[in-house]
Structure 1
Protein backbone atom coordinates (compact mmCIF):
# COMPACT_ATOMS: atom_id res chain seq x y z
CA UNK A 1 0.00 0.00 0.00
CA UNK A 2 2.77 2.41 0.89
CA UNK A 3 4.55 1.53 -2.27
CA UNK A 4 1.59 2.49 -4.41
CA UNK A 5 1.15 5.76 -2.48
CA UNK A 6 4.77 6.78 -3.03
CA UNK A 7 4.57 5.87 -6.70
CA UNK A 8 1.52 8.12 -7.13
CA UNK A 9 3.17 10.92 -5.15
CA UNK A 10 6.38 10.82 -7.21
CA UNK A 11 4.46 10.54 -10.44
CA UNK A 12 2.40 13.67 -9.46
CA UNK A 13 5.53 15.64 -8.62
CA UNK A 14 7.19 14.60 -11.82
CA UNK A 15 4.11 15.68 -13.78
CA UNK A 16 3.98 19.10 -12.09
CA UNK A 17 7.69 19.62 -12.68
CA UNK A 18 7.27 18.58 -16.27
CA UNK A 19 4.35 20.99 -16.84
CA UNK A 20 6.28 23.88 -15.23
CA UNK A 21 9.31 23.10 -17.40
CA UNK A 22 7.16 23.00 -20.53
CA UNK A 23 5.57 26.39 -19.75
CA UNK A 24 8.96 27.96 -19.06
CA UNK A 25 10.39 26.57 -22.26
CA UNK A 26 7.38 27.74 -24.24
CA UNK A 27 7.75 31.28 -22.90
CA UNK A 28 11.43 31.26 -23.74
CA UNK A 29 10.73 29.86 -27.15
CA UNK A 30 8.08 32.59 -27.73
CA UNK A 31 10.49 35.35 -26.71
CA UNK A 32 13.35 33.91 -28.70
CA UNK A 33 11.19 33.12 -31.69
CA UNK A 34 9.45 36.56 -31.65
CA UNK A 35 12.06 39.11 -30.47
CA UNK A 36 10.49 41.92 -32.53
CA UNK A 37 7.12 41.53 -30.80
CA UNK A 38 8.77 41.61 -27.39
CA UNK A 39 10.81 44.69 -28.32
CA UNK A 40 7.70 46.43 -29.70
CA UNK A 41 5.67 45.98 -26.52
CA UNK A 42 8.62 46.97 -24.32
CA UNK A 43 9.23 50.10 -26.36
CA UNK A 44 5.49 50.95 -26.31
CA UNK A 45 5.34 50.72 -22.53
CA UNK A 46 8.44 52.93 -22.22
CA UNK A 47 6.86 55.55 -24.52
CA UNK A 48 3.62 55.53 -22.50
CA UNK A 49 5.53 55.85 -19.23
CA UNK A 50 7.59 58.77 -20.55
CA UNK A 51 4.44 60.45 -21.93
CA UNK A 52 2.69 60.35 -18.56
CA UNK A 53 5.86 61.61 -16.89
CA UNK A 54 5.84 64.74 -19.07
CA UNK A 55 2.02 65.14 -18.97
CA UNK A 56 0.91 64.10 -15.45
CA UNK A 57 -2.43 65.92 -15.78
CA UNK A 58 -3.54 63.39 -18.42
CA UNK A 59 -2.83 60.59 -15.98
CA UNK A 60 -4.99 62.31 -13.38
CA UNK A 61 -7.81 62.76 -15.89
CA UNK A 62 -7.66 59.11 -16.85
CA UNK A 63 -7.55 58.11 -13.19
CA UNK A 64 -10.54 60.28 -12.37
CA UNK A 65 -12.52 58.87 -15.28
CA UNK A 66 -12.80 55.48 -13.61
CA UNK A 67 -16.35 54.74 -12.30
CA UNK A 68 -15.28 54.34 -8.67
CA UNK A 69 -13.30 57.58 -8.70
CA UNK A 70 -16.16 59.41 -10.42
CA UNK A 71 -18.70 58.12 -7.94
CA UNK A 72 -16.45 59.13 -5.06
CA UNK A 73 -16.01 62.64 -6.50
CA UNK A 74 -19.77 62.97 -7.03
CA UNK A 75 -20.52 61.93 -3.49
CA UNK A 76 -17.89 64.37 -2.23
CA UNK A 77 -19.43 67.23 -4.21
CA UNK A 78 -22.89 66.28 -3.04
CA UNK A 79 -21.68 66.20 0.55
CA UNK A 80 -20.04 69.63 0.16
CA UNK A 81 -23.16 71.09 -1.39
CA UNK A 82 -25.33 69.60 1.36
CA UNK A 83 -23.02 70.96 4.02
CA UNK A 84 -23.05 74.40 2.44
CA UNK A 85 -26.84 74.37 2.27
CA UNK A 86 -27.13 73.29 5.87
CA UNK A 87 -24.70 75.99 6.91
CA UNK A 88 -26.57 78.60 4.86
CA UNK A 89 -29.95 77.70 6.30
CA UNK A 90 -29.07 78.78 9.82
CA UNK A 91 -28.21 82.46 9.08
CA UNK A 92 -31.12 82.64 6.65
CA UNK A 93 -33.56 81.46 9.31
CA UNK A 94 -31.91 83.75 11.84
CA UNK A 95 -32.25 86.71 9.49
CA UNK A 96 -35.90 85.89 8.78
CA UNK A 97 -36.55 85.55 12.50
CA UNK A 98 -34.86 88.90 13.15
CA UNK A 99 -36.93 90.63 10.46
CA UNK A 100 -40.14 89.09 11.80
CA UNK A 101 -39.26 90.16 15.34
CA UNK A 102 -38.52 93.72 14.16
CA UNK A 103 -41.82 93.83 12.27
CA UNK A 104 -43.70 92.79 15.42
CA UNK A 105 -41.87 95.45 17.42
CA UNK A 106 -42.85 98.12 14.90
CA UNK A 107 -46.47 97.01 14.97
CA UNK A 108 -46.61 97.09 18.77
CA UNK A 109 -44.95 100.49 19.01
CA UNK A 110 -47.02 102.03 16.19
CA UNK A 111 -50.27 100.76 17.69
CA UNK A 112 -49.35 102.03 21.15
CA UNK A 113 -48.34 105.47 19.87
CA UNK A 114 -51.52 105.73 17.80
CA UNK A 115 -53.71 105.02 20.82
CA UNK A 116 -51.73 107.02 23.37
CA UNK A 117 -51.29 110.18 21.29
CA UNK A 118 -54.48 109.84 19.26
CA UNK A 119 -52.96 109.98 15.81
CA UNK A 120 -53.90 108.07 12.66
CA UNK A 121 -52.57 104.56 12.29
CA UNK A 122 -50.96 105.32 8.92
CA UNK A 123 -49.15 108.33 10.35
CA UNK A 124 -47.97 106.33 13.34
CA UNK A 125 -46.67 103.56 11.06
CA UNK A 126 -44.81 106.12 8.94
CA UNK A 127 -43.16 107.72 11.96
CA UNK A 128 -42.14 104.39 13.50
CA UNK A 129 -40.84 102.93 10.22
CA UNK A 130 -38.80 106.05 9.48
CA UNK A 131 -37.40 106.12 13.00
CA UNK A 132 -36.28 102.49 12.76
CA UNK A 133 -34.69 102.98 9.35
CA UNK A 134 -32.92 106.20 10.36
CA UNK A 135 -31.72 104.67 13.63
CA UNK A 136 -30.21 101.75 11.72
CA UNK A 137 -28.38 104.12 9.36
CA UNK A 138 -27.00 106.32 12.15
CA UNK A 139 -26.41 103.72 14.84
CA UNK A 140 -29.02 105.02 17.29
CA UNK A 141 -31.80 103.32 19.21
CA UNK A 142 -35.09 103.90 17.31
CA UNK A 143 -36.98 104.14 20.59
CA UNK A 144 -34.80 107.06 21.66
CA UNK A 145 -35.74 108.91 18.45
CA UNK A 146 -39.42 108.17 19.05
CA UNK A 147 -39.10 109.29 22.67
CA UNK A 148 -37.70 112.66 21.56
CA UNK A 149 -40.62 113.04 19.14
CA UNK A 150 -43.08 112.19 21.90
CA UNK A 151 -41.70 114.82 24.27
CA UNK A 152 -40.98 117.49 21.65
CA UNK A 153 -44.21 117.46 19.61
CA UNK A 154 -46.41 114.60 20.84
CA UNK A 155 -46.13 113.30 17.26
CA UNK A 156 -47.58 116.42 15.66
CA UNK A 157 -45.66 116.84 12.35
CA UNK A 158 -46.83 120.46 11.98
CA UNK A 159 -45.87 121.65 15.45
CA UNK A 160 -43.97 124.96 15.62
CA UNK A 161 -42.63 126.82 18.61
CA UNK A 162 -42.29 130.54 19.19
CA UNK A 163 -38.50 130.33 18.81
CA UNK A 164 -38.61 128.60 15.41
CA UNK A 165 -38.46 124.90 16.30
CA UNK A 166 -40.39 122.86 13.73
CA UNK A 167 -41.85 119.46 13.11
CA UNK A 168 -41.89 116.14 14.91
CA UNK A 169 -38.46 116.61 16.49
CA UNK A 170 -38.74 120.40 16.82
CA UNK A 171 -35.64 121.09 14.75
CA UNK A 172 -34.32 124.64 14.68
CA UNK A 173 -34.28 124.74 10.88
CA UNK A 174 -32.53 128.11 10.61
CA UNK A 175 -29.76 127.01 12.97
CA UNK A 176 -29.29 123.65 11.23
CA UNK A 177 -29.99 124.78 7.67
CA UNK A 178 -26.90 122.97 6.39
CA UNK A 179 -28.36 119.60 7.42
CA UNK A 180 -31.40 120.20 5.21
CA UNK A 181 -29.33 120.72 2.07
CA UNK A 182 -29.40 117.02 1.18
CA UNK A 183 -33.17 116.99 1.61
CA UNK A 184 -34.20 119.95 -0.53
CA UNK A 185 -33.66 122.81 1.92
CA UNK A 186 -35.40 124.15 5.02
CA UNK A 187 -38.70 124.45 3.15
CA UNK A 188 -39.03 120.70 3.81
CA UNK A 189 -38.54 121.09 7.55
CA UNK A 190 -42.17 120.09 8.21
CA UNK A 191 -41.93 116.96 6.08
CA UNK A 192 -42.16 114.12 8.62
CA UNK A 193 -39.50 111.93 7.02
CA UNK A 194 -37.05 114.80 6.48
CA UNK A 195 -37.64 116.15 9.99
CA UNK A 196 -36.96 112.76 11.57
CA UNK A 197 -33.77 112.26 9.56
CA UNK A 198 -32.39 115.72 10.31
CA UNK A 199 -33.40 115.68 13.97
CA UNK A 200 -31.85 112.23 14.43
CA UNK A 201 -28.63 113.39 12.75
CA UNK A 202 -28.42 116.35 15.14
CA UNK A 203 -29.00 114.05 18.11
CA UNK A 204 -26.34 111.63 16.87
CA UNK A 205 -23.82 114.45 16.50
CA UNK A 206 -24.50 115.55 20.09
CA UNK A 207 -24.02 111.98 21.33
CA UNK A 208 -20.62 111.84 19.61
CA UNK A 209 -19.60 115.24 21.00
CA UNK A 210 -20.82 114.78 24.57
CA UNK A 211 -20.25 111.07 25.02
CA UNK A 212 -23.54 110.30 26.78
CA UNK A 213 -27.26 110.33 26.04
CA UNK A 214 -28.05 112.59 29.01
CA UNK A 215 -25.63 115.32 27.92
CA UNK A 216 -26.70 114.93 24.30
CA UNK A 217 -30.35 115.50 25.25
CA UNK A 218 -29.35 118.53 27.28
CA UNK A 219 -27.64 120.00 24.23
CA UNK A 220 -30.53 119.02 21.97
CA UNK A 221 -33.00 121.04 24.05
CA UNK A 222 -30.60 124.00 24.08
CA UNK A 223 -29.58 123.78 27.73
CA UNK A 224 -25.93 122.83 27.25
CA UNK A 225 -24.69 125.98 29.00
CA UNK A 226 -27.22 125.69 31.84
CA UNK A 227 -26.95 123.80 35.11
CA UNK A 228 -30.12 121.81 34.37
CA UNK A 229 -32.43 121.06 31.46
CA UNK A 230 -35.72 121.56 33.26
CA UNK A 231 -36.37 117.81 33.43
CA UNK A 232 -36.31 117.39 29.65
CA UNK A 233 -33.81 114.51 29.63
CA UNK A 234 -35.68 112.70 32.37
CA UNK A 235 -38.95 112.91 30.44
CA UNK A 236 -37.33 111.63 27.25
CA UNK A 237 -35.67 108.69 29.02
CA UNK A 238 -38.92 107.80 30.79
CA UNK A 239 -40.72 107.73 27.46
CA UNK A 240 -37.82 105.75 26.01
CA UNK A 241 -38.17 103.04 28.64
CA UNK A 242 -41.91 102.82 27.99
CA UNK A 243 -41.36 102.41 24.26
CA UNK A 244 -38.72 99.73 24.86
CA UNK A 245 -41.16 97.83 27.05
CA UNK A 246 -43.90 98.15 24.44
CA UNK A 247 -41.58 96.92 21.68
CA UNK A 248 -40.58 93.85 23.69
CA UNK A 249 -44.22 93.02 24.41
CA UNK A 250 -43.76 93.23 28.18
CA UNK A 251 -45.63 96.53 28.60
CA UNK A 252 -49.22 96.22 29.73
CA UNK A 253 -51.78 98.78 28.48
CA UNK A 254 -52.16 100.13 32.03
CA UNK A 255 -51.80 103.72 30.86
CA UNK A 256 -54.73 103.55 28.49
CA UNK A 257 -56.79 101.59 30.98
CA UNK A 258 -56.02 104.03 33.77
CA UNK A 259 -56.91 106.98 31.56
CA UNK A 260 -60.24 105.46 30.52
CA UNK A 261 -60.92 104.44 34.15
CA UNK A 262 -60.37 108.03 35.32
CA UNK A 263 -62.78 109.32 32.68
CA UNK A 264 -65.43 106.76 33.68
CA UNK A 265 -64.95 107.67 37.33
CA UNK A 266 -65.39 111.40 36.55
CA UNK A 267 -68.57 110.71 34.55
CA UNK A 268 -69.95 108.56 37.37
CA UNK A 269 -69.28 111.31 39.91
CA UNK A 270 -71.16 113.86 37.80
CA UNK A 271 -74.08 111.50 37.28
CA UNK A 272 -74.40 110.37 40.88
CA UNK A 273 -73.78 113.75 42.46
CA UNK A 274 -72.11 114.53 45.78
CA UNK A 275 -71.19 111.49 47.82
CA UNK A 276 -70.17 111.05 51.43
CA UNK A 277 -66.63 112.10 52.28
CA UNK A 278 -65.34 108.53 52.70
CA UNK A 279 -66.71 107.46 49.33
CA UNK A 280 -65.28 110.54 47.63
CA UNK A 281 -61.81 109.68 48.91
CA UNK A 282 -62.11 106.13 47.56
CA UNK A 283 -63.27 107.35 44.16
CA UNK A 284 -60.53 109.98 43.88
CA UNK A 285 -57.73 107.46 44.43
CA UNK A 286 -57.68 105.98 40.90
CA UNK A 287 -57.81 109.46 39.39
CA UNK A 288 -54.74 110.51 41.34
CA UNK A 289 -52.94 107.27 40.41
CA UNK A 290 -53.79 107.70 36.76
CA UNK A 291 -52.49 111.25 36.81
CA UNK A 292 -49.19 110.00 38.18
CA UNK A 293 -48.98 107.30 35.50
CA UNK A 294 -49.77 109.72 32.73
Structure 2
Protein backbone atom coordinates (compact mmCIF):
# COMPACT_ATOMS: atom_id res chain seq x y z
CA UNK A 1 0.00 0.00 0.00
CA UNK A 2 2.88 2.30 0.89
CA UNK A 3 4.59 1.51 -2.41
CA UNK A 4 1.38 2.36 -4.29
CA UNK A 5 1.17 5.76 -2.57
CA UNK A 6 4.81 6.43 -3.39
CA UNK A 7 4.25 5.46 -7.03
CA UNK A 8 1.20 7.72 -7.34
CA UNK A 9 3.06 10.58 -5.65
CA UNK A 10 6.00 10.15 -8.01
CA UNK A 11 3.69 10.06 -11.04
CA UNK A 12 1.87 13.23 -10.01
CA UNK A 13 5.16 15.01 -9.32
CA UNK A 14 6.57 14.01 -12.71
CA UNK A 15 3.42 15.18 -14.51
CA UNK A 16 3.50 18.51 -12.67
CA UNK A 17 7.16 19.00 -13.52
CA UNK A 18 6.44 18.23 -17.16
CA UNK A 19 3.54 20.68 -17.30
CA UNK A 20 5.72 23.35 -15.67
CA UNK A 21 8.49 22.71 -18.17
CA UNK A 22 6.10 22.90 -21.12
CA UNK A 23 4.52 26.05 -19.74
CA UNK A 24 7.88 27.71 -19.30
CA UNK A 25 8.93 26.58 -22.76
CA UNK A 26 5.69 27.87 -24.20
CA UNK A 27 6.08 31.24 -22.52
CA UNK A 28 9.66 31.41 -23.67
CA UNK A 29 8.59 30.63 -27.22
CA UNK A 30 5.84 33.25 -27.03
CA UNK A 31 8.38 35.79 -25.78
CA UNK A 32 10.69 34.89 -28.65
CA UNK A 33 7.88 35.28 -31.18
CA UNK A 34 7.00 38.68 -29.74
CA UNK A 35 10.60 39.84 -29.88
CA UNK A 36 10.99 38.64 -33.46
CA UNK A 37 7.65 40.20 -34.35
CA UNK A 38 8.61 43.55 -32.87
CA UNK A 39 11.91 43.42 -34.69
CA UNK A 40 10.10 42.69 -37.90
CA UNK A 41 7.70 45.55 -37.29
CA UNK A 42 10.62 47.95 -36.96
CA UNK A 43 12.79 46.71 -39.81
CA UNK A 44 10.24 45.12 -42.19
CA UNK A 45 6.77 46.70 -41.66
CA UNK A 46 5.70 45.37 -45.06
CA UNK A 47 6.11 41.78 -43.83
CA UNK A 48 4.14 42.58 -40.67
CA UNK A 49 1.28 43.98 -42.74
CA UNK A 50 1.24 40.89 -44.96
CA UNK A 51 1.22 38.60 -41.93
CA UNK A 52 -1.62 40.55 -40.35
CA UNK A 53 -3.68 40.34 -43.55
CA UNK A 54 -3.08 36.58 -43.75
CA UNK A 55 -4.14 36.03 -40.14
CA UNK A 56 -7.34 38.05 -40.59
CA UNK A 57 -8.19 36.14 -43.76
CA UNK A 58 -7.53 32.81 -42.01
CA UNK A 59 -9.87 33.71 -39.13
CA UNK A 60 -12.63 35.07 -41.34
CA UNK A 61 -12.56 32.03 -43.66
CA UNK A 62 -13.25 29.88 -40.61
CA UNK A 63 -15.91 32.30 -39.35
CA UNK A 64 -14.01 32.91 -36.13
CA UNK A 65 -15.14 35.96 -34.18
CA UNK A 66 -12.73 38.86 -33.92
CA UNK A 67 -13.95 40.44 -30.73
CA UNK A 68 -11.87 43.56 -31.15
CA UNK A 69 -13.43 44.39 -34.51
CA UNK A 70 -16.90 45.96 -34.95
CA UNK A 71 -19.37 43.49 -36.45
CA UNK A 72 -20.56 43.93 -40.01
CA UNK A 73 -24.33 44.31 -39.57
CA UNK A 74 -25.10 45.44 -43.12
CA UNK A 75 -26.59 42.04 -43.94
CA UNK A 76 -29.17 42.50 -41.16
CA UNK A 77 -30.35 45.89 -42.42
CA UNK A 78 -33.74 46.01 -44.09
CA UNK A 79 -32.52 47.96 -47.09
CA UNK A 80 -32.02 47.44 -50.83
CA UNK A 81 -30.41 49.61 -53.48
CA UNK A 82 -32.95 50.91 -56.00
CA UNK A 83 -30.82 49.66 -58.88
CA UNK A 84 -31.14 46.11 -57.56
CA UNK A 85 -34.91 45.86 -58.01
CA UNK A 86 -37.06 46.01 -61.19
CA UNK A 87 -37.62 49.47 -62.64
CA UNK A 88 -41.36 49.52 -61.84
CA UNK A 89 -40.65 48.68 -58.22
CA UNK A 90 -37.83 51.23 -58.10
CA UNK A 91 -40.19 53.93 -59.38
CA UNK A 92 -42.73 53.06 -56.68
CA UNK A 93 -40.05 53.03 -53.98
CA UNK A 94 -38.62 56.40 -55.05
CA UNK A 95 -42.11 57.97 -55.07
CA UNK A 96 -43.00 56.62 -51.64
CA UNK A 97 -39.64 57.70 -50.21
CA UNK A 98 -40.20 61.23 -51.45
CA UNK A 99 -43.82 61.45 -50.30
CA UNK A 100 -43.30 60.01 -46.83
CA UNK A 101 -39.85 61.53 -46.28
CA UNK A 102 -38.05 58.28 -45.59
CA UNK A 103 -34.87 56.81 -47.06
CA UNK A 104 -35.35 55.08 -50.43
CA UNK A 105 -33.25 52.00 -49.57
CA UNK A 106 -35.47 50.61 -46.78
CA UNK A 107 -38.56 51.51 -48.81
CA UNK A 108 -37.10 49.59 -51.75
CA UNK A 109 -36.79 46.50 -49.52
CA UNK A 110 -40.42 46.88 -48.43
CA UNK A 111 -41.63 47.31 -52.01
CA UNK A 112 -39.72 44.21 -53.08
CA UNK A 113 -41.23 42.26 -50.17
CA UNK A 114 -44.74 43.50 -51.03
CA UNK A 115 -44.36 42.13 -54.56
CA UNK A 116 -43.11 38.80 -53.19
CA UNK A 117 -45.98 38.56 -50.69
CA UNK A 118 -48.46 39.40 -53.43
CA UNK A 119 -47.63 36.14 -55.20
CA UNK A 120 -48.43 34.00 -52.16
CA UNK A 121 -51.32 36.01 -50.69
CA UNK A 122 -53.02 37.08 -53.92
CA UNK A 123 -53.27 40.60 -52.55
CA UNK A 124 -52.17 43.36 -54.89
CA UNK A 125 -48.67 44.60 -53.98
CA UNK A 126 -49.80 48.22 -54.15
CA UNK A 127 -52.71 47.43 -51.82
CA UNK A 128 -50.23 46.10 -49.26
CA UNK A 129 -48.07 49.21 -49.62
CA UNK A 130 -51.13 51.47 -49.46
CA UNK A 131 -52.22 49.92 -46.16
CA UNK A 132 -48.74 50.59 -44.73
CA UNK A 133 -48.81 54.14 -46.04
CA UNK A 134 -52.14 54.96 -44.38
CA UNK A 135 -51.50 52.98 -41.21
CA UNK A 136 -47.96 54.08 -40.33
CA UNK A 137 -46.53 56.34 -43.07
CA UNK A 138 -43.76 53.72 -43.27
CA UNK A 139 -42.51 54.23 -39.72
CA UNK A 140 -41.90 50.73 -38.26
CA UNK A 141 -42.01 51.68 -34.56
CA UNK A 142 -45.40 53.38 -34.41
CA UNK A 143 -47.87 52.21 -31.78
CA UNK A 144 -51.50 53.26 -31.49
CA UNK A 145 -53.39 53.85 -28.27
CA UNK A 146 -55.22 50.59 -28.89
CA UNK A 147 -51.94 48.67 -29.07
CA UNK A 148 -51.57 48.29 -32.84
CA UNK A 149 -47.87 48.14 -33.70
CA UNK A 150 -45.48 48.47 -36.58
CA UNK A 151 -45.72 49.19 -40.27
CA UNK A 152 -49.13 47.62 -40.78
CA UNK A 153 -50.38 48.43 -37.28
CA UNK A 154 -51.11 44.83 -36.39
CA UNK A 155 -52.82 44.25 -33.03
CA UNK A 156 -49.93 42.27 -31.60
CA UNK A 157 -51.76 40.90 -28.55
CA UNK A 158 -54.61 39.61 -30.70
CA UNK A 159 -52.33 38.07 -33.31
CA UNK A 160 -49.50 36.96 -31.01
CA UNK A 161 -49.77 33.40 -32.31
CA UNK A 162 -48.89 34.56 -35.82
CA UNK A 163 -45.62 35.96 -34.50
CA UNK A 164 -44.54 32.72 -32.82
CA UNK A 165 -42.75 31.30 -35.84
CA UNK A 166 -40.80 34.56 -36.11
CA UNK A 167 -39.59 34.42 -32.52
CA UNK A 168 -42.44 36.01 -30.56
CA UNK A 169 -44.27 39.30 -30.15
CA UNK A 170 -41.18 41.51 -30.26
CA UNK A 171 -40.84 40.59 -33.93
CA UNK A 172 -43.72 43.03 -34.50
CA UNK A 173 -41.07 45.73 -34.75
CA UNK A 174 -39.11 43.97 -37.46
CA UNK A 175 -40.38 45.62 -40.68
CA UNK A 176 -40.50 42.52 -42.87
CA UNK A 177 -42.05 40.35 -40.15
CA UNK A 178 -44.71 42.97 -39.44
CA UNK A 179 -45.50 43.06 -43.16
CA UNK A 180 -45.84 39.29 -43.38
CA UNK A 181 -48.12 39.06 -40.37
CA UNK A 182 -50.14 42.09 -41.48
CA UNK A 183 -50.65 40.59 -44.93
CA UNK A 184 -51.71 37.28 -43.38
CA UNK A 185 -54.26 39.10 -41.20
CA UNK A 186 -55.64 41.19 -44.08
CA UNK A 187 -55.85 38.12 -46.32
CA UNK A 188 -57.73 36.28 -43.59
CA UNK A 189 -60.18 39.17 -43.14
CA UNK A 190 -60.86 39.55 -46.86
CA UNK A 191 -61.57 35.83 -47.04
CA UNK A 192 -63.84 36.16 -44.00
CA UNK A 193 -65.77 38.90 -45.82
CA UNK A 194 -66.40 36.73 -48.85
CA UNK A 195 -63.51 38.15 -50.84
CA UNK A 196 -64.52 41.80 -50.51
CA UNK A 197 -61.40 43.98 -50.27
CA UNK A 198 -63.44 46.93 -48.97
CA UNK A 199 -65.10 44.91 -46.22
CA UNK A 200 -61.82 43.18 -45.38
CA UNK A 201 -60.14 46.57 -44.97
CA UNK A 202 -62.94 47.74 -42.68
CA UNK A 203 -62.55 44.65 -40.52
CA UNK A 204 -58.78 45.16 -40.51
CA UNK A 205 -59.36 48.69 -39.25
CA UNK A 206 -61.42 47.70 -36.24
CA UNK A 207 -63.33 44.45 -36.51
CA UNK A 208 -67.10 44.32 -36.22
CA UNK A 209 -67.15 47.49 -34.13
CA UNK A 210 -66.44 49.58 -37.23
CA UNK A 211 -69.56 50.42 -39.18
CA UNK A 212 -69.67 52.61 -42.26
CA UNK A 213 -66.13 53.93 -41.83
CA UNK A 214 -65.59 54.53 -45.54
CA UNK A 215 -62.94 57.25 -45.17
CA UNK A 216 -60.22 54.76 -44.26
CA UNK A 217 -61.09 52.46 -47.14
CA UNK A 218 -61.18 55.39 -49.56
CA UNK A 219 -57.74 56.55 -48.45
CA UNK A 220 -56.20 53.10 -48.89
CA UNK A 221 -57.75 52.54 -52.30
CA UNK A 222 -56.80 56.03 -53.47
CA UNK A 223 -53.18 55.45 -52.47
CA UNK A 224 -53.23 52.09 -54.23
CA UNK A 225 -54.49 53.81 -57.41
CA UNK A 226 -51.69 56.39 -57.22
CA UNK A 227 -49.10 53.63 -56.86
CA UNK A 228 -50.59 51.85 -59.88
CA UNK A 229 -50.08 55.05 -61.88
CA UNK A 230 -46.51 55.52 -60.68
CA UNK A 231 -45.65 51.92 -61.63
CA UNK A 232 -47.14 52.54 -65.07
CA UNK A 233 -44.80 55.49 -65.61
CA UNK A 234 -47.35 58.23 -65.03
CA UNK A 235 -46.12 61.34 -63.23
CA UNK A 236 -47.98 61.60 -59.91
CA UNK A 237 -47.65 64.41 -57.39
CA UNK A 238 -46.34 63.55 -53.95
CA UNK A 239 -48.16 66.48 -52.39
CA UNK A 240 -51.04 65.59 -50.00
State the TM-score, normalizing by the size of structure 2. 0.62
Among 82, 87, 111, the alignment partner of 1:104 is 87
Shift of 1:230: 5.2
Q: Is the 8 A contact 1:223 1:229 kept in 2?
A: no
CA drift of 1:226 comes to 3.4
**What is the Cα deviation at residue 163 of structure 1?**
1.1
Alignment match of 1:132 (pick from 100, 105, 115)? 115
SS in 1 for 2:86: helix
Pair 1:151 & 2:151 matched: no
Aligned-pair CA distance for 1:248: 1.2
Structure 1 residue 218 corresponds to structure 2 residue 202: yes
1:108-257 alignment runs, 5 A limit = 108-210=91-193, 211-229=195-213, 231-250=215-234, 252-253=235-236, 255-256=237-238
Please give the alpha-carbon distance, in whole angstroms, between the structure 2 residues aligned to 1:107 and 1:219.
31
Is the alpha carbon distance of 1:191 and 1:208 closer, same or farther for their aligned partners in structure 2, counting shifts above 3 Å? same
How far apart, in 1, do the equivalents of 2:226 and 2:186 lie? Answer: 20
Q: TM-score, normalised by structure 1?
A: 0.51
Q: Which whole-Å CA distance do the structure 1 matches of 2:106 and 2:141 have between them?
A: 12
Cα deviation, 1:162-185, whole Å, max 9, x if unaligned, reads: 111100000000000111111111
Q: Distance in 2 between matches of 1:224 and 1:115?
A: 35
Q: Which has the higher contact order (CA 8 A, sep 6+)?
A: 2
- Hey, what's the Cα distance between the residues in 2 that align with 1:202 and 1:157? 17
Contact kept, 8 Å, 1:106 with 1:247, in 2: the verdict is yes
Q: Contact 1:171–1:195 at 8 Å: present in 2 too?
A: yes
Which one has the largest radius of gyration?
A: 1
Match of 1:54 in 2: none
Runs of 5+ consecutive residues of structure 1 not aligned to the other structure:
1-101, 260-293
Please provide the CA RMSD for this pair: 1.6
